[in-house]
Structure 1
Amino acid sequence: MATGKKPPKPKKCKCCPERFIPRTSTQTVCSTKCAIQLAKQLSDRKKKHQEKLDRAAWNKRKDDVKPLKHWEDATQRVVNDYIRERDRDLPCISCGTWTTVQWEAGHFRSRGAASHLRYDEDNIHKQCHRCNAELSSNAIPYRAGLVVKIGSQRVEALENNNTPHRYTRDELKSIRMHFRAKLRALKLEAA
């Protein structure tokens, strides 16, 4: 006469390819040797996970110690890369040359005079090294080229924008991510 209990189904051991009949419903390994091996694996995973968390916390602490200038410069590099890629097929906005030692992202209103516009796309355009560095942005021809490129209303809006703004780390991070995405999209279009 049957008692109504089903015999346990064979399971595959978590450590070795053996199949075994478990003595309890929670048994996952076939032997004590496999249980010790499984415990070591779980312990190693836990250690690696903790190391990863510790590294992340350390990097965050390191990032918190860095001055705001570090983040401004990192953001400016990404924005400048985007501007050079955006204006890749255009000449220097100031002098119109197609050849230079190095292409740069020149600001119409300098970062020193208008730091709140340092990441504004209307304020930054491709310039040759001579106009940007040697002629200090070559402002008069820059303005003329800017009027042709974006229109006089937007140029006047740039010139009249004197609202001060101090960027935070979070703002700089979001600006950096925004321009990285735009740069990636431009590079995909070009390919």
Structure 2
Amino acid sequence: MVKAKKPKPITCRICKSKFSPSLSTQIVCSTSCAIQHGKAQSAKQAERKAIAERKAHREKKADLKPLSHWLGMTQRVFNDFIRLRDGEVCISCGSRAAVSYHAGHFRTTAKAKQLRFNEDNCHSQCSACNTHQSGNIGPYRINLIEKIGIERVEALESNNESHRYTREELEALRAHYRQKTRDLIKQREGV
């Protein structure tokens, strides 16, 4: 006959005392420790459920927001990147002493929605040129040709493909430009 092996002593998960389990699945030493362990597991499960419910609620609220909300959030992150990339200099008039700078689009977002997040189409521009002179397009085009070349400017001018952004696409773009902004800041700090 084969003798049954005596189980090795293990540590109780609740009171931390050593005991020899009578079952292979036993993890606590006594009934009182089992009750405490059950209460702790129930509390953990309730917390996991509450976290899942909060996450589902946030996602549901996010789904109710219109596409324009996501477009605006992405546009802000993109514009921050453009202003950081170009610095405080206007592509149209060359001003370096303006009160504020915008991310001015060569082809407007109203006329060319597909170019809204195209880096060739958007450059730092003083508020006077962007707002009061409707982009000051004549000098903008001349300086844009000097900056990126005639081929890329003509590619912008001839791009008439329509595009409708999705929420997922806007979230990906926002994450992309946040990362590019962080990378540019690190690069300039010399880190």
TM-score relative to the length of structure 1: 0.93
1:166 to 153, 164, 167: 164
Counterpart of 1:125 in 2: which secondary structure?
A: strand
Q: Offset at 1:3?
A: 5.9
Match of 1:184 in 2: 182
C-alpha displacement of 1:6: 2.5
Q: Which residue of 2 aligns with 1:17?
A: 16
Aligned match of 1:74: 73
Match for residue 6 of structure 1?
Answer: 5
How many residues of Structure 1 are paired with residues of Structure 2 in the alignment?
189
Q: Which secondary structure does the structure 2 equivalent of 1:98 belong to? A: coil
- Kindly report the root-mean-square deviation, in angstroms, between the aligned alpha carbons of the 2 structures: 1.5
Instruction: Name the counterpart of 1:28.
Output: 27
Unpaired segments of 5 or more residues in structure 1?
none
C-alpha distance in structure 2 between counterparts of 1:28 and 1:140, whole Å:
78
Alignment of 1:14-163 (within 5 A): 14-88=13-87, 91-163=89-161
In percent, how many aligned pairs have the same letter?
A: 49
Runs of 4+ residues deviating >3 angstroms: none
Cα deviations across residues 5-62 of structure 1 (Å, max 9, x unaligned)? 3322111111122111212111101122211111111111111111111112111111
The TM-score with structure 2 as length reference comes to 0.93
Q: 1:73: how far off? A: 0.5
**Partner Cα separation in structure 2 for residue 171 and residue 3 of structure 1:** 66
Unaligned 5+ runs, structure 2: none
Distance between the aligned counterparts of 2:184 and 2:26, measured in 1?
56
1:143-176: CA deviations, max 9, x gaps?
1110111011111111111111111112212211
Equivalent residue letter for 1:136: S
Higher mean C-alpha displacement, 150-159 vs 174-183: 174-183
